[in-house]
């Protein structure tokens, strides 16, 4: 239990672990967490090594960088290579490999690719460079989509006509449903995403409990939050309840942020389907700009290849993202695929399960194994 000493309140952590062990009893519970930030916390603080063997954590597709298929990266690179374009992107998309290299590779070959913190930075670059076409690589769940939407509205209001977005925004509910429908996954409950839920609220997760009979607890990012959420899930089982609960009441309300949702819906519509790495095509799971914003839609302004590119044969990101295998069970983990030489997205993104495990989890697992721990 040595890692517990690093927690803000080790006594509380130990108490929670005792409670979890007691509640889980002789059962075996598999809980999925769907937030890259949670994956990071879990590995960084060795949470899986604190838990009894009766509780297993499985990592889900909550990393919006990780789920983008190679073909979409190729599309982004193609746009970046159009003469005169300034292609802007969040930092963690830069090294994701497409079939012909990454955005970082395109930059090295002379494309004007710039890392931005905010879509507003990209809009400012457009306003300051009226003779160039500026494109923003819009990635993220509902945490980020409202910000892209607000930026597009601002572009329209300020009449910035040399700005466009390449939308790869995805939504949280469809992959949850796809995972629940998947025959090869037997999950007992979910730890719900933190900051996505500040926008979307809690009500939309109800189908998980009501239609599929699995409990769902939204959690914050502290290790104690995650332990508490696990305790809340197990308490539901012991009391014969099944519902959506909120451990992160400090930041998440039932309704979420209605204004953010309204702005998002004013600007975006749902695509009929979208390809997710590892999960295939999921209906109504991604966002594109509404027709009245066509003028700011990079997919309409530029010729993107639009080719579907399967993952490299060695890559098992799909199975990691679905929670079917753990990072260390991937055949190329740590050998051909490392943060320096990534094959797939799970290793590139700072929130990816493989990157998190590579950077933090391996040492804890090694220590736990030598100490005679569970796994």
Partner 1 sequence: MCLGIPGEVVELLDSNTHLAKVDVAGVRRNINIDLLEDENVAPGDWVLIHVGFAMAKIDEAEAQRALASLQLMGQAYTDEVQAVIESQIA
Residue (90 or 296) nearer to partner 1, CB: 90
Instruction: Give the residue, chosen from 195, 290, 295, 362, that forms a contact with partner 1 under the rule CB under 8 A.
Output: 195
103 contacts 112 by C-beta, under 8 angstroms: no
Beta bridge partners, 280, equal 276
Binder among 60, 61, 98, 146 for partner 1 (CB under 8 A): 146
* Total residues in contact with partner 1, by rule CB under 8 A: 49
Residue 174 in contact with partner 1, rule: CB under 8 A: no
Binding partner 1 (rule: CB under 8 A), the pick from 5, 8, 11, 291 is: 8
Cβ proximity of 90 and 115 under 8 Å: yes
Residue 62: which of 329, 278, 307 has the closest Cα?
Answer: 278
Interaction between residue 362 and partner 1 (CB under 8 A): no
By CB under 8 A, residue 132 contacts partner 1: no
Q: What are phi and psi of 29, to 5 degrees?
A: -120, 135
Q: Does 192 bind partner 1 (CB under 8 A)?
A: no
Q: Does 221 bind partner 1 (CB under 8 A)?
A: yes
Q: Is 218 in the site for partner 1 (CB under 8 A)?
A: no
Please identify, among the stretches 140-148, 229-237, 301-309, 333-341, the one whose residues bind partner 1 according to the rule CB under 8 A: 140-148
| CB closer to partner 1 out of 259 and 375 | 259
Distances (CA, A) of 206 to 47, 187, 213: 27, 16, 10
Query: Can residue 266 be called a binding residue for partner 1 (CB under 8 A)?
Result: no
Taking alpha carbons only, the member of 195, 209, 179 closest to residue 285 is 179
Query: What would the x/- binding string for partner 1 be over residues 307 to 346, using CB under 8 A?
Result: ----------------------------------------
| Chain centroid, CA 7 distance in Å | 25
Residue 33 in contact with partner 1, rule: CB under 8 A: no
Q: Which of residues 92-121 bind partner 1 (CB under 8 A)?
A: 92, 116-121
The residues with which 85 forms a beta bridge, in sequence order, are 133
Strands (E), the chain: 29-33, 55-59, 85-89, 112-115, 133-140, 163-169, 189-192, 216-218, 244-246, 268-270, 273-276, 280-283, 287-289
Question: Is 124 a residue that touches partner 1 (CB under 8 A)?
Answer: yes
If residue 178 lies in a helix (H) or strand (E), which one and from where to where?
A: helix 173-181
Classify the phi-psi angles of 273: left when phi > 0, otherwise alpha if psi is within -120 to 50, otherwise beta.
beta
Q: Of the ranges 104-112, 195-203, 278-286, 298-306, which one interacts with partner 1 (CB under 8 A)?
A: 195-203
Candidates 251, 294, 307, 363: give the one binding partner 1 (CB under 8 A).
251
Q: 372, 344, 370, 371: which is closest to 358 by C-alpha? A: 344
**Which residues contact partner 1 by CB under 8 A?**
6, 8, 35-37, 40-41, 44-45, 64-65, 90-92, 116-121, 124, 140-141, 143-144, 146-147, 150, 154, 195-196, 198-199, 220-223, 225, 250-252, 257-260, 263, 349-351
């Amino acid at each position: 239990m040595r890692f517990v000493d690093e927690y803000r309140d080790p006594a509380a952590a130990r108490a929670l672990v005792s409670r979890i062990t007691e509640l889980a009893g002789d059962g075996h519970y598999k809980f999925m967490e769907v937030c890259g930030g949670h994956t990071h916390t879990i590995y960084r603080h060795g949470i899986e090594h604190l838990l009894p063997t009766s509780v297993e954590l499985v990592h889900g597709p909550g990393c919006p960088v990780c789920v983008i298929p190679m073909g979409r990266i190729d599309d982004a690179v193609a746009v970046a290579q159009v003469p005169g374009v300034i292609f802007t992107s969040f930092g963690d998309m830069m090294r994701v490999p497409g079939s012909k290299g990454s955005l970082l590779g395109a930059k090295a070959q002379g494309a004007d690719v710039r890392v931005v913190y905010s879509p507003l930075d990209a809009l400012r670059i457009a306003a300051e460079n009226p003779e160039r076409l500026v494109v923003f690589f819009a990635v993220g769940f509902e945490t980020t989509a409202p910000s892209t939407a607000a930026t597009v509205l601002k572009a329209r209001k300020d009449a910035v006509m040399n700005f466009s977005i390449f939308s790869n925004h995805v939504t949280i509910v469809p992959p949850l449903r796809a995972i629940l429908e998947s025959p090869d996954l037997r999950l007992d409950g979910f730890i719900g995403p933190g900051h996505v839920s500040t926008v979307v609220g809690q009500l939309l997760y109800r189908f998980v409990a009501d239609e599929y009979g699995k409990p769902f607890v939204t959690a914050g990012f502290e290790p104690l939050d995650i332990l508490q959420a696990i305790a809340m899930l197990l308490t539901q089982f012991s009391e014969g309840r099944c519902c959506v609960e909120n451990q992160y009441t400090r930041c998440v309300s039932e309704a979420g942020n209605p204004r953010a949702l309204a702005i998002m819906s004013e600007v975006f519509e749902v695509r009929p389907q979208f390809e997710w790495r590892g999960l295939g095509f999921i209906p109504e799971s991604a966002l594109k700009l509404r027709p009245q914003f066509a003028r700011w839609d990079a997919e309409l302004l530029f010729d993107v290849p639009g080719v579907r590119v399967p993952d490299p044969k060695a890559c098992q990101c799909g199975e990691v993202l679905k929670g079917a295998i753990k990072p260390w069970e991937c055949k190329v983990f740590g050998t051909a695929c490392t943060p320096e030489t990534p094959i797939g997205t799970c290793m590139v993104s700072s929130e990816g399960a493989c990157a998190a495990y590579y950077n933090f989890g391996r040492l804890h697992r090694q220590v736990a194994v030598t100490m005679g721990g569970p796994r």
